[in-house]
Structure 1
Amino acid sequence: MPMPEFSGAWPPEPWDVAQSAYDLHSAWVAGDTDLLSAFYTQNPDGKPAKTRSAQYSTGVIGKVARWFWGRPPQQATKRLHIPAAADVARTSADLLFGQPPQWVLNEGDATNLEAAQDRLNQLLECDDATATFLEAAEIQAALGGVFLRLFWDQEVTDKVMLSAVGPDAAIPEWRYGKLSAVTFWSVVATDKRGTWRHLERHEPGAIEHALYCGDGDHIGRRMPLEEQEATAWAADLVDENSSIKTGVKGLTAAYIPNVRPARRWRNLPGLSPLGRSDFEGIEHLFDALDEAWSSWMRDLDLAKARLFVAASLLEQDGPGQGASWDPEQAIYTPAPSEDLIEGGPNTLVQAQQFKIRHLEHQATCTALMNRILVSAGYSTGDFGDDQLSGAMTATEVTARKDLSNRTRSKKALYWGSATAPLARTMMDLDELVYGGNYGLQADPEMQFPVRVDQDPVQRSIEIANLRTAQAISIAASVRKINPNLSSDEVDEEVDAIKAELAELAPAADSFGDSDFDGPAEPHNDLQQTNPQPRPQGGDTLEEAA
């Protein structure tokens, strides 16, 4: 199918609804205070508010206007932003790809299994692919989903590559909730003629390129690709339909939702397959955390020591110059003795310093941060802040991390199901462009490492007790201490352990030598095989004998 004929407002309906949420969450994750202030101080039509009468109105308009970031600038002296949203997105990415996933081809998945597995590792287990996954996971957590796009350039790379694209730069097309095609867009230039957008539509078997010239809010009209340097390269590669044939059946893009359902637009056609952001429903908590932290900093400002000096201590600086006070001056003009009484009504110098309510502010900020993490689906133990979790035992830490583990497992399901067909398309495309003979028959499998939350010392004690009780095998012990090892790696480790035990153990025939005449004679009474009975009652040793 060719690219739809876009016209009018951009993004088109219903993506303009989603774009508003993307802009808000992008501002939170970026920590851009100017964008946050602009977002919460604008009217429903998107234009900045000239007056703040909306703060006294009811409904959504008044509620948003009364937010911390929705107040007029003159109502708040110092506004500080805590990057809690960015920390939540980073934590999500670290949980998923802090340990790189493994890509596995099983027996029968390819005619040339060994070569296919080696190439699959080069494509998806390399450093650049892992870095892309980390980037994509942050976008996914913040915006509710992320796209992965395949690209290749034989002059630059020796393999097919991956890139991450946010959902705020894509117009997807769905079929039964699955991605059937997607149009990526980006602003490539802005000049006196208008805003230039490059549209790149991915569909099975082809990638179509188009260039549009419009303004900031409208797509405008379609222009030749040669009109802009950023798209001129595609003009020499596309056919008469402005498409580049990929030569493979699969779609060269994939969409990974964050978590479903998307509560905000689950009943809107076209938007319901999108996932929901980790920030959805907790934006007010981000706002409250910024307000509490700013109040804490305001206490520091108010607590600065200030001196109120009597007029009799001031030195006149001359006509029209006012008066000043030198705190280093040793002797002042004589003053009445009653004014020198400390704390009296006529004290010459008074100090004013307000109390810093640091404990109250710290408790408030900690409670808000804990609420943010729980609402987003993460445990405080995974956030890297000891003040949030406090002093806990190893068992308590493991229990506290259970929420993060459940969230990670849910997101891993979406990653595995979406990237498996993309990985096969990537292999087929790489074989076609860069050569190879893999004969892939099935989708590769994405396997996430098992998280090890238990303390290593505690695990070693547990395994030692089980081994002593002969309740666990060597192979099971190796799997318990290294849950992410493959079967072959486990077998190698077991063989190495057995070899070391054989070297440390005595020779098997050490007790079969001809010089061995049985157990040695006992050298004391404790080693006798038939010890004498102990005397009964008050009998002495001689009487007992």
Structure 2
Amino acid sequence: MPLPAVNLEWPPPSTKEPRKLYDRWQAWYSGDPEQLARVHADVPGLGGDSDIPRGQPGVGARFVNALLQGRPRAFWGTPVTPGQVRSHKLHVPLAGDIASTSADVLYGEPPTFEVPDAKTTGKATQDRLDDIAEEANLAAVLLESGETGSAYGGSYLRVSWDPVLADCPLWDVIPPDCAVPEWRGGRLHAVTLWRDLESPDGRHWRHLERHEQGRVLHGLYASADEGKLGRRLKLVDHDATAPFALIVDPEDGQTVTTGASGLACEYVPNMRPNRLLRGSALGRSDYAGIEPMLDSLDEAWTSWLRDLRLGKGRLVVPRAYTMSRGRGRGTTFDPEREVFEAVDAIDNGDGPLKMSVVQFAIRVEEHSRTCREITAEAVRGAGYSAQTFGQNDEVAATATEVNARQGRTASTRGKKQLYARGPLARLARATLEIDAAKFGRKPGVNPELRPAVRWQDGVPFDIEATARTLQMIKAAEAASIYRRVQMLNPDWDDKEIRADVERIKAEAGGGPVVPPGSSATGHGPDEPAPDGDPADVEPDDDGPENDDARPPSVGGRASR
């Protein structure tokens, strides 16, 4: 469908409820106290209710008070105390840490894009895709996508091209609060991205970019009403959209063909389902459900620092001890003065006037324990283990113990990978297609191949536990040399495993140690073994062709 040509309400009403959630999650993600106070002043709580009369007689006032007593309380929603010079509320950036950690857990070891038959017929395609990934800095883009998705519940990844900037397609991240998605069967069918432009005449200018299969539509709008889309203008009427006027179809003035069979923009959900928007295909933020814990953590931290302020020793000084600054100019007291002269004072029967010290207790342990417990609950609610955030790490642990402690984090990482795998694979194929269409097809490159997305194991490799397991398997004669090498190196192919088997047998038989890249029979690991070769001696298990599936790794990812 084309871009809107009439003066519609913008953003569309269909995005109203998601944008409310995005505003709240954005406030926690940014950590800006002003945003937190503004957002929570508009939600149920004490915030925004300071203008409602309380304690006044009358049925209406009692009814209002009863309503307020039943409404939940938000620390960031409470107004500043009348007469207070400034707010002493403090914010702990735990929400930002959760988003950053989520990106590290998911994309800290970036996934690889592997085309079919990457070592044979697909080698040229694989090499080109690797070059694009390096030139476009996909590892950094994916980290940004992971952090944005953790905060907002998902993010959009867009493929674009600009021959002036790079000789290959580029990826960038679009936050979901400036997108209008359209779904079909739970998958993104089309999406309209929009951005506000600098206004040259006082009107509200917007650029709309609609992604459909195989094409992108651009539109420029200006309106005197911020809530309306306004009138459709030519792309050359604004400097920000003038470059698109050179590449759009001259007949309709809005369409750019991408050369891809699918979308050049994909939505990567953080986690589903969205518990606050039933039936929605939008993802769920890591903050969903833990906002009260984040609010309580800030309240506990503020109370701790309040104890520090109140804990400063203060002197209650009789007025007779103060020094006059002259008639009508008040009196002062020097707290650093160590010696005071005797003063004449009237004894009221309670003894002479005295200075007294007032100093409140600083409840360090109580506040520290409270903050730790709230943080642990908030992290758990976000789907992560406390160990991931550095808690419970006082005692050194083995890799096996670390894996057990971070089980919740590993489970969450696996779920997010499931949701990200499909969109990333489709976008990688679109990247190859756009690269061939806009930069010319390279020799041997097949853009129609759909790459597969592979993640690293992500679990610390415990070589000691793996060695014990393999030793017990060998003693029980439960697996051949080939199978044990395969279990230790699950990412090796058949030829690499056979070559290592030959080296192990040569060393065990007292023969010369065979260096990597060669074999005991003189042929390399990439060459087929001749008939009767020692690599085929084990008839009970002579290769993966006799198995239905390759067994999983024993101790996680192993390096070659």
TM-score when normalising by structure 2: 0.79
Match status 1:293 vs 2:311: no
Letter paired with 2:459: V
1:181 matched to which residue of 2? Answer: 190
Match status 1:213 vs 2:222: yes
SS class of match (1:328) = coil
Superposed CA deviations along residues 325-361 of structure 1, whole A, max 9, x for unmatched, are 343343521679x99xxxx975633221111111111
Distance 1:303-1:179 versus aligned 2 partners, 3 A rule: same
Q: Distance in 2 between matches of 1:238 and 1:60?
A: 57
Match status 1:451 vs 2:451: no
SS class of match (2:13) = coil
Superposed CA deviations along residues 371-409 of structure 1, whole A, max 9, x for unmatched, are 1111111111112x23x5554743443222111111111
- Listed as ranges, the matches of 1:54-133 within 5 Å are 63=71, 66-74=73-81, 77-107=87-117, 112-124=121-133, 128-133=137-142
1:250 matched to which residue of 2? Answer: 262
Letter paired with 2:268: I
SS class of match (1:416) = helix
1:382 matched to which residue of 2? Answer: 388
2:154 matched to which residue of 1? Answer: 145
2:8 matched to which residue of 1? Answer: 8
8 Å contact kept, 2:182–2:189: yes
Q: Distance in 2 between matches of 1:316 and 1:130?
A: 69
Q: Distance in 1 between matches of 2:421 and 2:54?
A: 47
Match status 1:163 vs 2:175: no
Distance 1:124-1:225 versus aligned 2 partners, 3 A rule: same
Q: Distance in 1 between matches of 2:188 and 2:270?
A: 15
8 Å contact kept, 1:110–1:438: no
2:544 matched to which residue of 1? Answer: none
Q: Distance in 1 between matches of 2:464 and 2:453?
A: 30
Letter paired with 1:74: T
Distance 1:363-1:329 versus aligned 2 partners, 3 A rule: closer
Q: Displacement of 1:428 after TM fit?
A: 1.4
Superposed CA deviations along residues 387-440 of structure 1, whole A, max 9, x for unmatched, are x55547434432221111111111101111122122112111112222214234
SS class of match (1:14) = helix
2:375 corresponds to which of 345, 365, 369: 369
Q: Displacement of 1:180 after TM fit?
A: 1.3
SS class of match (1:73) = coil
Q: Displacement of 1:8 after TM fit?
A: 3.2
Letter paired with 1:232: A
Distance 1:186-1:473 versus aligned 2 partners, 3 A rule: farther
Q: Distance in 1 between matches of 2:465 and 2:31?
A: 40
- Listed as ranges, the matches of 1:442-521 within 5 Å are 442-453=449-460, 455=462, 459=466, 485-487=491-493, 491=497, 494=500, 498=504, 501=507
Q: Displacement of 1:315 after TM fit?
A: 3.3
Superposed CA deviations along residues 26-61 of structure 1, whole A, max 9, x for unmatched, are 1110111111111122379xx977725599656699
Q: Distance in 2 between matches of 1:444 and 1:61?
A: 57
Unaligned runs of 5+ in 2: 56-63, 514-560
Q: Displacement of 1:455 after TM fit?
A: 4.8
2:285 corresponds to which of 261, 270, 277: 277
SS class of match (2:268) = strand
Superposed CA deviations along residues 235-262 of structure 1, whole A, max 9, x for unmatched, are 1211122101123322111111111111
8 Å contact kept, 2:258–2:437: no
Q: Distance in 2 between matches of 1:189 and 1:259?
A: 35
Q: Which structure: greater helix fraction?
A: 1
Q: Distance in 1 between matches of 2:247 and 2:11?
A: 27
Letter paired with 2:435: D
2:143 matched to which residue of 1? Answer: 134
8 Å contact kept, 1:148–1:253: yes
1:525 matched to which residue of 2? Answer: none
8 Å contact kept, 2:48–2:77: no
SS class of match (2:276) = helix
Greater displacement, 255-264 / 323-332: 323-332
1:195 matched to which residue of 2? Answer: 204
Q: Distance in 2 between matches of 1:287 and 1:334?
A: 52
Q: Displacement of 1:323 after TM fit?
A: 3.1
1:532 matched to which residue of 2? Answer: none
Q: Distance in 2 between matches of 1:33 and 1:249?
A: 45
Greater displacement, 115-124 / 433-442: 433-442
1:399 corresponds to which of 393, 396, 404: 404
Q: Distance in 2 between matches of 1:419 and 1:222?
A: 34
Q: Displacement of 1:467 after TM fit?
A: 6.3
Letter paired with 1:350: S
Distance 1:42-1:400 versus aligned 2 partners, 3 A rule: same
Match status 1:262 vs 2:283: no
Distance 1:506-1:118 versus aligned 2 partners, 3 A rule: closer
SS class of match (1:25) = helix
Distance 1:332-1:423 versus aligned 2 partners, 3 A rule: same
Greater displacement, 257-266 / 203-212: 257-266
1:541 matched to which residue of 2? Answer: none
Match status 1:418 vs 2:426: no
Match status 1:323 vs 2:328: no
Match status 1:408 vs 2:413: yes
- Listed as ranges, the matches of 1:37-48 within 5 Å are 37-42=37-42
Superposed CA deviations along residues 432-472 of structure 1, whole A, max 9, x for unmatched, are 22221423454210011102245555555665676677767
Structure showing greater Rg: 1
Superposed CA deviations along residues 274-302 of structure 1, whole A, max 9, x for unmatched, are 11111112111111111111111111111
Q: Distance in 1 between matches of 2:69 and 2:234?
A: 44
Letter paired with 2:141: T
Q: Displacement of 1:321 after TM fit?
A: 3.2
Letter paired with 1:416: R
Q: Displacement of 1:476 after TM fit?
A: 6.1
Q: Distance in 2 between matches of 1:429 and 1:26?
A: 33
Q: Distance in 2 between matches of 1:174 and 1:494?
A: 50
Superposed CA deviations along residues 475-510 of structure 1, whole A, max 9, x for unmatched, are 666666666x4437964993797499579x5779xx
Q: Distance in 2 between matches of 1:234 and 1:361?
A: 57
Greater displacement, 137-146 / 463-472: 463-472
Q: Distance in 1 between matches of 2:213 and 2:262?
A: 5
2:51 matched to which residue of 1? Answer: 51
Letter paired with 1:167: P
Q: Distance in 1 between matches of 2:108 and 2:502?
A: 29
Percent identical pairs in the alignment equals 35
Superposed CA deviations along residues 59-91 of structure 1, whole A, max 9, x for unmatched, are 699736x31111112278411111111111111
Letter paired with 1:290: D
8 Å contact kept, 2:205–2:221: yes
SS class of match (1:262) = coil
1:513 matched to which residue of 2? Answer: none
Distance 1:223-1:486 versus aligned 2 partners, 3 A rule: farther
TM-score when normalising by structure 1: 0.81
Letter paired with 2:263: L
